[in-house]
Structure 1
Amino acid sequence: MNTTGPPDENRGLRLLPIRGLRYVPERVGSLSAVTSPPYDVVIRPDGLHHLESADPYNIVRLILPQAATAGERHRQAAQTLAAWLAEGILAADPEPALYVYEQRKGDLLQRGVIGALELSVPADGIVLPHEDVMPDVVEDRAALMRTTAANLEPLLLTYRSEDATPGAETDTTGTSAVVGRTLSRPPLLATTTEDGFAHRLWSVTDPADLAEIRTDLARHQALIADGHHRWATYLRLRTEHPAGSPWDFGLVLLIDTARYPLQVRAIHRLLHRLPVARAVDAIGDAFRVRTLDVPLPEALAALAEAASESNAFLLAGDGRFHLVDRPDEGLLARTVPAEPPAAWRELDATVLHATLLDHLWRIPDAPEYIAYLHDTEAAVTQAERVGGTAVLMHPVREEVVRDLARQGVTMPRKSTSFGPKPATGLVLRSLTLG
């Protein structure tokens, strides 16, 4: 859905202003010390402990509370949120707003708009998922949202405007124009996180500006770039509440990738119980396997070159790298489902799960067997630490993801990592405030 009709005849994205919950700067050590990456990026215990120790009010205490049982974790998060609100650590903005959000690091610049998006199902064609989800993760996130009655971090969604110049806010009307005008005002907050990203946030409350954004977004559909489990959680919780409630909406960050192209990275697999030697032996002649005694950057360069010609993977965990490529075509024909489109059958993630994990290695896709890691060095280090195998992946191009999503085809879970991801903790949404 692009600009094929007036908004009232071609309903698209509907983003509502919210009274955002934000940290009160005077009550915390620093805004950078209370933020966190999204919950599914904070996976290592050392990363969790680092954030917890950065500031007693770090947002990780809400998104990843620590307790003996799931129920205790969720209740603890709700109690912590209530206490922080009562103590004035967090406070709701005085009036509903959409929020212009900017991230900058060197030459990388990203801007978008945060608000509460009306929820849709895939059949609506308004918000397009592209990955499968894990039911246990959805259940956990749903219980956390249900107990806290809050959206604690925004999903990352993308849309594409027409005839846009990358990095420019030059339109005279529409969302881009409102963003451009907003940038001339002092921001609500500005902070730099330890990853080197500078963050700025502005509120948009003028009725004319809000109407301009509403009219513009009504012409567009969005792709879920990051947050498939939270989107599935939003949809589940919507069914539990009567129509017309705040649960009909979910907190999102919308990025126009025609102006601000996202980076697309791979998500790697850590196979806890499969040593590299056994992994290589089980492959046999089904793929070509070459051992590389080179540093990680050179190994990744070799992976990128191989991936341009065939499915390719890099195995690590024994102090070396093993480049796996050129799969046997007959084996692919026997193991990869034939019904989905060719673009799906040719995905590295498809071949990894259907041919390597399911057929050759016979590893169940369960947390005790497989972990999903965004950081390449962390995947290699952990594989060496536990005696397992890291399967390093090459990223998928954004246009492949978008084309499959438009066909209603979902990729294997954890196929892509779009970024930069929004910092968690800058804007929260209470479901009791709308």
Structure 2
Amino acid sequence: MTSPPYDLISDADVEVLLDSHPNNVVRLILPCSSRSNSSPGTPADDDHSSSPAATPGTHPGPPLQPPAQDAARPQPPVTRTRTTSPTAETPLEPRYAVARDTLRNWLDAGILVPDDVPALYVYEQSGPDVLQRGLIGDVGLADPAQRIILPHEDVFPGPIADRLALMSTTQANLEPIFLLYDGGNGTATRLVNEVAAERRPLVSAHTEDGLTHRLWAITAPDEIAAINADLHHRQALIADGHHRYATYRVLQRQERATRHLPTTAGDTHAAQPPTGDAHVGQPPIGDTHAGHPLATGDSAAPPSAPGETDVSQHARAGTAAPAYDEAALGPWDFGLALLVDSRAYPPDLKAIHRVIEGLPLDEAVSRAKSSWQVHDYKDLAAGLAALEGAPEPAFLLAGEDGSHLLTDPDPVQLARAMPPDQSDHWNSLNTSVLAEFVLPVVWGMRDNDQTVHIVHHDTDAAVSMAVRTGGTAVILKPLVVDDVLAIAAGGERVPRKSTSFGPKPRTGLVLRTFATD
């Protein structure tokens, strides 16, 4: 029933996810296949329309329960952001209506059922050498000038338009963004760990990437209050979900403008999607407000009513309410998020590689020799080992004919290429050097989706794509977390597709609809 985040799902993976379960969340987040029009889970398709109301922690029973091993594929290495229907079978507007109707049908059929009491959700991801715990709840959307939640990447209009159409049509947040904060192992983190260690989970699911996902609900008002008191003064970094967060802000502005409600002082460009104003809260992180997200779950716990999936209330935690009159607040003034204490659970920051199909490897190496020291290696393993020990900036070019390490760029050429209005720290990032010097100056090309393909984490996948297309794979080392934090704290944004924080929250465990909020 779950899936990776929407922007990490390939066309082929959509089909796999559709086959994995009739109520897989991909039908909501990417309603892009004609097969989605059948809207499995409607009363006409199953016999759950008369399911009784759920009690807290109710989850799918035998008729809808997926196998113990979630059939969804792991996050694929090659990704892109979709702004059009990947199959070209369903025009854009109808596919958003398909998602809306599917969501309504699942609610009407009892596949999604509200919990009885507000809650925050403890979410744990575990596996070989992986343990991450955090809280899922709402974040308030307030004046960007507050600098409560910091973005570190720029956003682009196309993905925002796509997610805005989906959110506004479904009136829902279908997957959480991913936030990191320095909690110093405070009260919130201690409660998260206590809940995970001592209480029975609502959900336990295994995915093909080897991770186990577990979910608990915190419903006690005193515990929720303690969490908010701890989070109230903290600042957070967007680890994943910049476009979704920007979409939260655009949707908020649109909804408040429609209702002639005031906007914040920072919202002076309401007609334009924000390009980096991903800041929330006023005051900082804290203050709960009752809400009603949807918790769906591949549950190992016994269900109280067969065939149900939980639509659970939650307390809004993680950031404070926006700087508006409480009486005028609406569900669009908040957005769904996972908050993780990075002190307790340091993030796994992986590299994102590039593949340039139109640039043969020998030509890429030849052009680079005028401005870089080039070291040739017969095999990929030797090149990767050399890259690991090379000082930044350094890149490994690989493809059909071995691998070639670029080091020690010509300082005069490099300085001339790097933007003077960016900080020295920003100009030293390997992704900055790639975007501002290597691609446009050395190779004479633009850094965009048409020219440069993105490959998450997997060097073998990047090199295989380069060999298959006769192009060049550019292998990078991951950025350092402290560098990303410093860039964000200074008000700058790293170049596009510079970071891949993980593990990312699984989509479909907790959702949120405005109608029940």
Question: TM-score normalised to the size of structure 1?
Answer: 0.85
Amino acid at match of 2:456: H
**Using a 3 Å threshold, how does the CA distance of structure 1 residues 278 and 81 change in structure 2: closer, same or farther?**
farther
What is the aligned counterpart of 1:299 among 383, 393, 397? 383
Map 1:12-411 to 2 at 5 A. 34-42=1-9, 44-66=10-32, 67-162=89-184, 164=185, 174-183=187-196, 184-242=198-256, 244-296=329-381, 298-306=382-390, 309-318=391-400, 320-376=402-458, 377-411=460-494
Percent identity of equivalent pairs: 45
In the alignment, is the contact (CA less than 8 A) between 1:272 and 1:368 conserved in 2? Answer: no
Partners of 2:19 and 2:363 in 1: how far apart?
39
Partners of 1:374 and 1:317 in 2: how far apart?
17
**Using a 3 Å threshold, how does the CA distance of structure 1 residues 278 and 91 change in structure 2: closer, same or farther?**
farther
Q: Deviations over 1:166-208 (max 9, x none)?
A: xxxxx6xx21232233221111111111111011100011111
Amino acid at match of 1:181: E
Unaligned runs of 5+ in 2: 33-88, 262-328
Amino acid at match of 1:196: G
Q: Is the partner of 1:56 in helix, strand or coil?
A: coil
In the alignment, is the contact (CA less than 8 A) between 2:396 and 2:403 conserved in 1? Answer: yes
Partners of 1:221 and 1:357 in 2: how far apart?
35
Q: Deviations over 1:73-128 (max 9, x none)?
A: 32222222222222333333222211000111123211000001112454211000
Q: Deviations over 1:306-355 (max 9, x none)?
A: 1xx23111222325222222111111111101222111000011110101
Q: Is the partner of 1:251 in helix, strand or coil?
A: strand
Offset at 1:135? 1.7
Amino acid at match of 2:189: S
Amino acid at match of 1:54: S
Q: Is the partner of 1:123 in helix, strand or coil?
A: helix
Partners of 2:411 and 2:143 in 1: how far apart?
37
**Using a 3 Å threshold, how does the CA distance of structure 1 residues 237 and 114 change in structure 2: closer, same or farther?**
same
In the alignment, is the contact (CA less than 8 A) between 1:38 and 1:423 conserved in 2? Answer: yes
Deviates more, 1:325-334 or 1:110-119: 325-334
Amino acid at match of 1:276: L
**Using a 3 Å threshold, how does the CA distance of structure 1 residues 301 and 85 change in structure 2: closer, same or farther?**
farther
Q: Is the partner of 1:85 in helix, strand or coil?
A: helix
Offset at 1:253? 0.3
Q: Is the partner of 2:483 in helix, strand or coil?
A: helix
What is the aligned residue count?
A: 388
Partners of 1:226 and 1:422 in 2: how far apart?
9
Partners of 2:384 and 2:112 in 1: how far apart?
43
Q: Deviations over 1:7-35 (max 9, x none)?
A: xxxxxxxxxxxxxxxxxxxxxxxxxxx21
Unaligned runs of 5+ in 1: 1-33, 165-170
Q: Which runs of 4+ in 1 moved over 4 A?
A: none
Partners of 2:22 and 2:356 in 1: how far apart?
34
Partners of 2:167 and 2:412 in 1: how far apart?
46
Deviates more, 1:310-319 or 1:219-228: 310-319
Offset at 1:303? 1.5
Partners of 1:258 and 1:350 in 2: how far apart?
27
In the alignment, is the contact (CA less than 8 A) between 1:131 and 1:412 conserved in 2? Answer: yes
Partners of 1:311 and 1:150 in 2: how far apart?
42
Which residue of the partner structure matches residue 31 of structure 1? none
In the alignment, is the contact (CA less than 8 A) between 2:351 and 2:457 conserved in 1? Answer: no
Tell me the C-alpha RMSD between the 2 structures: 1.8
Amino acid at match of 2:17: L
Offset at 1:367? 2.2
Which residue of the partner structure matches residue 427 of structure 1? 510
In the alignment, is the contact (CA less than 8 A) between 2:374 and 2:404 conserved in 1? Answer: yes
Offset at 1:71? 1.9
Offset at 1:215? 1.0
